[in-house]
A and B are shown apart, each in its own frame.
Chain A
Amino acid sequence: MQPASSAISARRWPIWIAGLTMLGLLLGLHATHTPAHRALQLTLLDAYQKAWPRERKSAPAVIVAIDEASLAKYGQWPWPRSELARLVNAIGALKPAAIGIDLLFPEPDRHGGNAVTAEATGNDLLFAVALRDNRAVLAIAGTVAEGAGGGGNFPPVRVEGSDPLLLMPLLPQFRSVIRSTPVLDRAAAGHGIISADAPDGIIRNIPLAVAVQNAIAPTLALEVIRVAAGEPVIRLRANADGLLSVGTGDVAVPVDREGRAWIHYSHHDPDRFVSAVDVLEGRVDPARINSKLVLVGLTGLALVDYPATPVNSSIPGAEIHAQLIENIFDGDHLTRPSWAPSAELLALALCGTLFVLLTPLLRPWLAMSGAVALIAALAATGAGAFRISGVLLDVASPAVALMLVFMTTMAGKLIETERQRRRLRETLQIERETAARVAGELEAARRVQTGLLPDSASLTVIEARCDVAAWMAPAREVGGDLYDFFKPSADRVTFLVGDVSGKGLPASLFMAISKALCKSAALRSGGAVERILTEANAEIARDNPEAMFVTAVLCSLDLQTGELRYANAGHDAPILIGAGGLTRLVQAGGPPLCMFDHHDYPGAAHTLAAGETVLLYTDGVTEAMDVERRLYGRDRLCAVLKTLPPATSCADIIAAVRKDLQAFGAVEMLADDITMLALRWHGPAAKT
């Protein structure tokens, strides 16, 4: 019987469905830029900067810092504008390329003017003159509030490759600006925006161009470069998708489609700074200022909020502009190309599909190794892109998404394995129950077969002239051996032993038919054993598609005379146990029943002496085997029989042989059915 359990295998489609659903969900999340996704992305990009910060190659910018020392010397902030005019003039005397003032002066100088009327004071005028004379650039802060200062007074902007009106909505939007008083504002040679996005307090990029009302304004660093180069315009290059670069003259800084330049930060470097007090007191080396882009900014710790960068936990604002200038001069740009998000999405889709499809097919450790390798490859790609070309690829969110997909498929695999195990258990239970049922049916069949065989007591109780005993041990629940004894007439007992080729259920069915047909032939033909076998053969052979055959030996004893007539159909010859020893009744044989459709079996006769016993047996006895597959054999059988006293009962004869079979170690005794039948004639006088 083929066990049904072999048909149960792990299903893959539930794992695939779970994995693909998870992947689809994550792709959706990835495409919609959720805050969590964004935070993850920025964390990775920050990690790249921390791992590989920029090394300073050149020093195009220098910061004149209004630092603690300057404040200590010249008093607290804000300084009188006259003092600032002196500082700008002192810087200008050292011939810088340009000066950018990273400071705002929205009110008139309170040290000598009218703060209420915003009227320009003498100090303001001094500062304005200094700004004009030194071609300084003033900072302007963007604000989203309505009402403050408007646009205008920005350098002209030329847009190439797109319509300015189409680009404007892409840029960071400011409704208004905070700018210095008109007298200062007008005196400046340029105006640059100092606002930058810091959604989580970290400035990663700076918009090189912003939209203020209907004007496009450059960032402070770019405006300083423009003024230094004497270029008339800020130039934006764009395509249909958005901005490509922002620059002036020979300078073109790659930007994202919304005009932001990602800054590759180096560590804070004090070498970028000179103290304002040193400049004012002429202590500074002129080479520090000469031909440099000078940024004037506050660094006095108490005065300003220091923004953070991915590399620095806090940094003066002016240093961010200085670092942007270094990026531009060294050509060390970080870019986040417009194709990057699509590429990341595609990587997730491809790798995710691969994970989902392969995980159910691979062994867990192999799937795990593959996943780790693939995620490592993604990480290496991201790191390589950053180091080699400054391209910012977000591999973190695809990697995390892939881990989630992998965990989902692995969980699905576990659940499916568990389900399979449970099903196997259930199936095993069913199989056991089925086996028990079959065993029950076979047990019933065994009882039926046993019931077919006569009980020796049924004969001996009514017949004192003979003693009979029989024993049959089927190799399985039911067997193909048969024996029978009955009295067809008052003074006759007929008995037989047969062996159907094969064993088990098929043989037992054939055995039942053979026994019934033999008995009916015997009842018809009395003591004519040759006719009984000939007729039985013809009848049994009639329907025999399986080519089974039966060996049998049939005896018929006249209880009055002791005449034993016997006929043999391919069976072992009966053994006669008498006073003079053992004799085999070897005459009178034919082929097994069913070998030929018609065969005339010969018979023979032998007259028993009173007290003689006939033993019939099947080859299950002589061909029983021990562990080393040695045959029990007829010689050993005869040897046992010879040891028995003459008066041994038939039942004891059979018991003795069984005991010897066990002693022989017939482990394969039940490889074949075993049957023995012994009948002793007591003589005519014993008639009841």
Chain B
Amino acid sequence: MEVGVERRGNARVIAVKGRIDHLNASAFHEQLTPHLQHCRSNGDGIVLDLSALDYISSAGLRIFMMAAKQARAQGGRIAVAQMQALVQEIFEISHFHLVYEIFTTTDEAVAALNRQPETAGT
């Protein structure tokens, strides 16, 4: 699992590569935490670019859920983009579309987050 971060406007694009399972879920959480702190109503939005994420286990989903809960509590926006088929299926089974804004491309996600930052989390 590797994580790359890029700022695009008010969005922090976090690209996750490889797999998130019980072995590295807590490491992933640690890398996500500093960005989550800025994900608030007048702060940055987060776009998780999952184009290179091959697999996510239930331990990884738990981190996604905690991230979504924290972002929502802070009034921030968090989105996922470019999911691979397997990850998309896991998301669907778990109904994560109910907590995450899902975009086909990272550009769309960035555009969406930059367009209406003030309406987030309401």
Contacts and interface: CB of A to CB of B under 8 A. Distances in A.
Interface stretch (B7-15, B95-103, B107-115): B95-103
Interface string A555-599: 000000000000000111100000000000000011110011000
A101 to B, nearest CB: 103
Nearest to A625: B21
Q: Is the interface of B mostly helix, strand, loop or mixed?
A: helix
Contacts of A223: none
Given A501-B58, A589-B95, A595 B22 contact: no
Q: Which size class do A's interface residues fall under?
A: 20 to 34
A501 B61 CA distance: 8
A549 B65 contact: yes
A596 B65 CA distance: 10
A672 B22 contact: yes
B47 to A, nearest CB: 21
Given A570-B95, A595-B99, A672-B22, A631 B59 contact: no
B95 A672 contact: no
Contact of B59 (A501, A570, A595): A501
A503 B21 CA distance: 12
Most B CB atoms within 10 A — which of A501, A503, A619, A631? Answer: A501
A573 B93 contact: yes
A502 B60 CA distance: 9
A551 B99 contact: no
Contacts of B59: 501-502
Interface in B49-103: 55, 57-59, 61-62, 65-66, 69, 93-96, 98-99
A547 B61 CA distance: 11
Contacts of B94: 551, 570, 591-592
A591 B98 CA distance: 7
Nearest to A570: B94
Interface string A518-556: 000000000000000000000000000001110100000
Contacts of A596: 98
A623 B95 contact: no
Most B CB atoms within 10 A — which of A547, A551, A571, A671? Answer: A547
Nearest to A569: B95
A499 interface: yes
A547 B62 contact: yes
Most A CB atoms within 10 A — which of B62, B66, B95, B99? Answer: B95
A88 B76 CA distance: 126
A429 to B, nearest CB: 32
A501 B23 CA distance: 13
A570 B62 contact: no
Given A501-B58, A501-B59, A595 B93 contact: no
A623 B23 CA distance: 13
Nearest to A671: B22
A595 B62 contact: no
Interface string A493-512: 00000010111000000000
Nearest to B67: A547
B93 A572 contact: yes
A547 B95 contact: no
Contacts of A589: 93, 95
A592 B94 CA distance: 6
B98 A595 contact: yes
Nearest to A573: B93
A570 B96 CA distance: 9
A571 B65 contact: no
Given A595-B99, A623-B57, A549 B93 contact: no
Contacts of A502: 59, 62
24 contacts: A501-B58, A501-B61, A501-B65, A502-B59, A547-B62, A547-B65, A547-B66, A547-B69, A548-B62, A549-B61, A551-B94, A572-B93, A589-B93, A591-B94, A591-B96, A591-B98, A592-B61, A595-B95, A595-B98, A596-B98, A619-B58, A623-B57, A671-B21, A671-B23
Interface of A: 499, 501-503, 547-549, 551, 570-573, 589-592, 595-596, 619, 623, 631, 671-672
Given A549-B62, A671-B21, 17 more contacts: A501-B58, A501-B65, A548-B62, A549-B61, A549-B65, A570-B93, A589-B93, A590-B95, A591-B94, A591-B96, A591-B99, A592-B94, A592-B95, A595-B98, A595-B99, A596-B98, A672-B57
Interface of B: 21-23, 55, 57-59, 61-62, 65-66, 69, 93-96, 98-99
The 9 closest A-B pairs by CB, nearest first: A591-B95, A501-B62, A570-B94, A547-B66, A501-B58, A591-B98, A570-B95, A590-B95, A592-B94
